[in-house]
A = this chain, B = another copy of it.
Amino acid sequence: MNKIILVVHGGAGTITKQSMTPEKEKAYTEGLTVALEAGYKILKNRGSSLDAVSAAVVTLEDNPLFNAGKGSVFTSEGKNEMDASIMDGKTRKAGAVASVNTIKNPIKAARLVMDKSPHVLMTGKGAIRFAQENGLEIVDSSYFHTDFRYDQWQKSIKHDKIQLDHSGDKDPKGWLKTETEKKFGTVGAVALDANGNLAAATSTGGMTNKKWGRIGDSPIIGAGTYANNNTCAVSCTGHGEYFIRDVVAYDISALMEYKKLSLKDAAEEVVMKKLVTDGGEGGIIAVDKDGNYTMTFNSEGMYRGVITADGKVWVGIYK
């Protein structure tokens, strides 16, 4: 039996000890642990990495603490518009949805696109119709309303700036500060299953007060999500525009395949060198075909956790 492993993230950014309360810390830690255990249960029973990453991400989408599914941030029009993607390392098949607003679990829709359509990426109303036709749970858009995100949006409007997730919750000036202090909200999971198959999944509500139908890296295969049994599975979180331009998820795979770098070195090269040079803040989680994993980020913090074959859970928030 292969060395099963599952890694999850709940977003990266300016997450500092000072900006936290013990209660919030506990809630985030619990949320990440629930995600890890949901995926692990599947892997332990020789289930697929695809099912494991889906199950882990579903719990994070359902948890209002994280900027994905319930708990997604608000657009400039006061709506919640979500993106998600998934990729199967065995077949390199992939599915993604972008700008969807009434699909309870966007990651399930991404999975459906992969499994039940000839397409990779569907957007907006068309994607919702496809999800509905295939029996996915559709909810009223009010399901995604959370007071916390609504207030965050109101503050954002007031200060007329596009704000990346998680900001301003504890630090009252968090949402006033400069670009470098923004926080990023996305959730994701990567896993290796007992059959040696890799998978990656990512889901997000995007940027607070986003306008113009902006889409980040989360639904973009190669940028926010990538999986290939020959190399690794990667899920990203960060300033999406940089992750798209740097083709971050695939670049880690390419460095392993073409330059024979280890997973850690490849992640280091992309996240700590290329992205830092370009000014792209954020991080990635990744596992390789041998069960090695990395959680690499150039921001002050990243909600993250890993569960190893023995069922041991480790969760971290700060550097």
CA A232 to CA B93, docked complex, whole Å: 27
Q: Among A13-21, A123-131, A190-198, A282-290, which stretch is in contact with chain B?
A: A123-131
Q: What residues of B have a CB within 8 angstroms of the CB of A46 in the complex? A: none
CA A124 to CA B100, docked complex, whole Å: 12
Given known A120-B241, A223-B221, A250-B247, contact A213–B125 (CB-CB < 8 A):
yes
User: Do B212 and A126 touch (CB < 8 A)?
Assistant: yes
| Size of A's binding interface in residues, CB under 8 A | 44
* A136 CB to nearest chain B CB (Å): 13
Partner of A212, one of B119, B212, B226, B241: B119
Bits for A223-261, please: 1 = Cβ < 8 Å to B, else 0.
100100000000000001100111100110011001100
Chain B residue, CB-CB nearest to A76: B126
A306 interface hit (Cβ, 8 Å)? no
User: Do A214 and B255 touch (CB < 8 A)?
Assistant: no
Q: What residues of B have a CB within 8 angstroms of the CB of A99 in the complex? A: 123-124
Q: What residues of B have a CB within 8 angstroms of the CB of A94 in the complex? A: 244-245
CA A280 to CA B58, docked complex, whole Å: 31
Partner of A120, one of B98, B226, B245, B278: B245
List the number of copies, as a whole number.
Answer: 2
Q: Name A90-112 residues within 8 Å CB distance of B.
A: 92-94, 98-99
Q: What residues of B have a CB within 8 angstroms of the CB of A117 in the complex? A: 212
User: Do B213 and A123 touch (CB < 8 A)?
Assistant: yes
CA A254 to CA B240, docked complex, whole Å: 20
A220 interface hit (Cβ, 8 Å)? yes
User: Do B129 and A212 touch (CB < 8 A)?
Assistant: yes
A-B contact pairs, 12 of them (CB 8 A): A87-B245, A117-B212, A118-B162, A119-B212, A122-B213, A123-B215, A125-B213, A126-B212, A126-B213, A129-B212, A221-B223, A258-B258
Leading 9 A-B pairs by shortest Cβ distance: A126-B213, A258-B258, A222-B247, A126-B212, A123-B213, A130-B212, A254-B254, A247-B250, A121-B215
